[in-house]
C-alpha cells in the first residue's frame, strides 16, 4: 500500500514538472498573444515583433533584410504584395500560393495589429496625415523623424548604400526586432554617439 | 546472390549518369556552355539601365555576388562551389523567371535556360 502511494505521488510530481518545463519551452509566435496584463505591458515596451514566418524570411529575406511586418500597416503590405512584378524596380514575382501565404502573414501581423512600441508609434504618426500610408517603411513620418539627424556622409557610406533601407547595417539587433539607439553600430564607422 | 541482388540493382541505378538532354523534337539544339557564357555576359538596356547577369552575380560565377540594389550577398552560382544550385526545380524556375525579366525584359526560353545551366555547371 505504501509503495502504491509513494509511486502515485512520484508520478504526479514528475508529470507536474514535465508539464511545467513544456510550458516554459513552448514557443509562442506572438509574445503579446494570450498573456496576462503584466506580460502585455512588457511586450508593449520593446521594439517590434521579430519575423516568425520562415516562408517570408526565406522568400523575401533572400534579397533584402526581412522587414518585420509590424513596421507597416496592412494597407501597405497588401499593396506591396500586389505589385511584386515591379517591386521598387526589381522583379520579385512569387507563385500564387506562396504569395497568398506571405500576404496573410504580413497583413495579420501588420502595425495596426501589434502592441509593440514601434508599431504603435508608426500607426500614430500615420494617423496624423491625410495621405494614404506609404509603401516604404522609410517614408513613414515616424521613421523619417527618428532618422532626420543622420548626415548624408553617413548615409552615403558604401555599407549603407545611400538609402536607409538596410536596417541591419546600423541596428545590430534588427533581426530580433530591436531598434534601440544604444545598440547602433555603423558598419565601417563604429558605435553611433548621438 | 539473392540477398545482394537488390543492392546491386540499386547501385547500378545510382551510378547511371543523369544528363539533361534537350528535346530536339521541339526545335532545341544541344545545350552549349559557350552560348551560355555569352548570354551570362551579354548587356541589355532596360528602363535606361545597362543590365546583365553579372550586375549581381559578377563575371565569375564561382565567386559570391552582391545584389545591385540591396547590397545583400548572393552565394556563388556555380554548382562546383555551391552544391545547392540547380537541385530544387521550383527554386530554379522562380529565379529564372524573375531574373530574366529584370535582366532582359522578358522570360528566357528553354534554349537559353539550358545553355546557362550548361555553362554554370561547366566551370
Count other Cβ atoms within 10 Å, centred on residue B20.
Answer: 11
Which of the four pLDDT bands, split at 50, 70 and 90, describes residue A188? confident
All three cell numbers of A181, joined, read 539607439
Measure A106 CA to nearest chain B CA, in Å. 21
State the residue for C-alpha cell 513552448: A26
Q: Is the per-residue pLDDT at A40 higher than 60? A: no
CB of B102 within 8 Å of any CB in chain A? yes
Question: b/e per residue, B82-105, with b = 16+ CB within 10 A?
Answer: eeebbeeeeeeebebbbbbbbbbe
All three cell numbers of A114, joined, read 501589434
CA A92, chain centre distance (Å): 21
Which of the four pLDDT bands, split at 50, 70 and 90, describes residue B27? confident
Residues 57..86 of A with a Cβ closer than 8 Å to B: which?
A: 62-65, 85
Q: Please count the residue pairs, one from chain A and one from chain B, whose beta carbons lie less than 8 angstroms apart.
A: 35
Q: Does B55 map to a domain?
A: yes
Q: Does B9 map to a domain?
A: no
Complex ipTM value? 0.73
Q: Does B10 map to a domain?
A: no
- Which pLDDT does position A15 carry in this prediction? 58
CB of A159 within 8 Å of any CB in chain B? yes
Domains identified in chain B, total number: 1
- In which domain, by residue range, is B41 found? 31-122
DSSP-assigned letters across all residues of chain B = -TTTHHHHHHHHHHHS-------GGGTPPPP-HHHHHHHHH--EEETTEEE-THHHH-S-TTS-EE-TTT--EE--S-TTT-TTTTS-HHHHHHHHHHHHHHHHSS---HHHHHHHHHHHHH-
Nearest beta carbon to residue B98 from set A88, A93, A159: A93
Which of the four pLDDT bands, split at 50, 70 and 90, describes residue A42? low
A134 DSSP assignment:
P
Alpha carbon of A93 to those of A6, A160, B102, B117: distances in Å?
64, 26, 11, 21
What phi and psi, each to the nearest 5 degrees, are found at residue A7? -70, -35
Q: Does B60 map to a domain?
A: yes
pLDDT in tens, B92-117: 999 999 999 999 999 999 999 999 99
Among the listed residues A29, A92, A73, A136, the one whose alpha carbon sits nearest the alpha carbon of residue B95: A92
Assign residue B81 the CATH number of its domain: 1.10.760.10
pLDDT in tens, A90-124: 999 999 999 999 999 999 999 999 999 999 999 99
Q: Does B36 map to a domain?
A: yes
Q: Is the per-residue pLDDT at A65 higher than 80? A: yes
Name B69's Cβ contacts closer than 8 Å, sequence gap at least 6: A88, A89, A90
Using an 8 Å CB-CB cutoff, list chain B residues near A85. Answer: 101
Q: Is the per-residue pLDDT at A170 higher than 90? A: yes
State the residue for C-alpha cell 533581426: A175
- Residue A157 · residue A183 · CB < 8 Å: no
Q: Is A171 exposed, middle or buried (0-12, 13-18, 19+ CB in 10 A)?
A: buried
State the residue for C-alpha cell 494597407: A75
Q: Does B62 map to a domain?
A: yes
| Residue in B closest to A61 by C-alpha | B72
Among the listed residues A88, A70, A68, A91, the one whose alpha carbon sits nearest the alpha carbon of residue A79: A88
Amino acid at each position: 500500500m505504501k509503495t502504491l502511494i509513494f509511486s502515485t505521488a512520484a508520478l504526479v510530481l514528475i508529470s507536474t514538472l514535465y508539464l511545467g518545463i513544456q510550458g516554459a519551452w513552448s514557443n509562442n509566435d506572438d509574445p503579446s498573444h494570450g498573456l496576462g496584463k503584466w506580460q502585455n505591458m512588457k511586450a508593449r515596451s520593446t521594439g517590434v515583433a521579430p519575423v516568425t514566418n520562415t516562408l517570408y524570411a526565406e522568400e523575401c529575406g533572400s534579397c533584402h533584410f526581412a522587414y518585420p511586418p509590424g513596421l507597416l500597416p496592412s494597407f501597405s503590405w497588401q499593396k506591396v504584395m500586389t505589385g511584386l512584378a515591379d517591386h521598387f524596380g526589381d522583379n520579385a514575382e512569387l507563385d500564387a500560393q506562396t504569395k497568398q501565404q506571405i500576404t496573410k502573414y504580413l497583413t495579420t501581423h501588420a502595425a495596426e495589429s501589434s502592441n509593440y512600441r514601434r508599431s504603435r508609434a508608426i500607426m500614430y504618426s500615420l494617423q496624423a496625415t491625410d495621405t494614404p500610408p506609404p509603401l516604404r517603411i522609410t517614408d513613414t513620418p515616424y521613421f523619417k523623424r527618428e532618422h532626420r539627424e543622420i548626415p548624408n556622409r553617413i548615409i552615403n557610406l558604401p555599407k549603407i548604400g545611400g538609402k536607409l533601407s538596410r536596417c541591419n547595417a546600423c541596428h545590430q539587433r534588427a533581426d530580433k526586432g530591436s531598434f534601440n539607439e544604444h545598440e547602433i553600430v555603423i558598419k565601417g564607422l563604429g558605435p553611433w554617439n548621438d | 546472390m539473392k540477398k545482394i541482388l537488390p543492392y546491386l540493382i540499386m547501385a547500378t541505378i545510382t551510378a547511371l549518369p543523369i544528363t539533361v538532354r534537350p528535346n530536339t523534337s521541339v526545335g532545341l539544339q544541344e545545350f552549349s556552355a559557350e552560348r551560355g557564357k555569352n548570354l551570362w555576359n551579354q548587356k541589355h538596356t532596360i528602363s535606361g539601365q545597362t543590365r546583365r547577369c553579372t550586375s549581381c552575380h559578377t563575371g565569375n560565377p564561382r565567386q559570391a555576388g552582391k545584389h545591385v540594389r540591396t547590397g545583400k550577398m548572393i552565394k556563388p552560382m556555380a554548382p562546383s562551389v555551391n552544391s545547392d544550385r540547380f537541385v530544387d526545380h521550383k527554386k530554379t524556375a522562380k529565379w529564372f523567371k524573375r531574373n530574366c525579366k529584370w535582366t532582359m525584359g522578358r522570360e528566357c526560353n528553354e534554349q537559353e535556360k539550358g545553355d546557362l545551366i550548361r555553362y554554370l555547371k561547366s566551370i
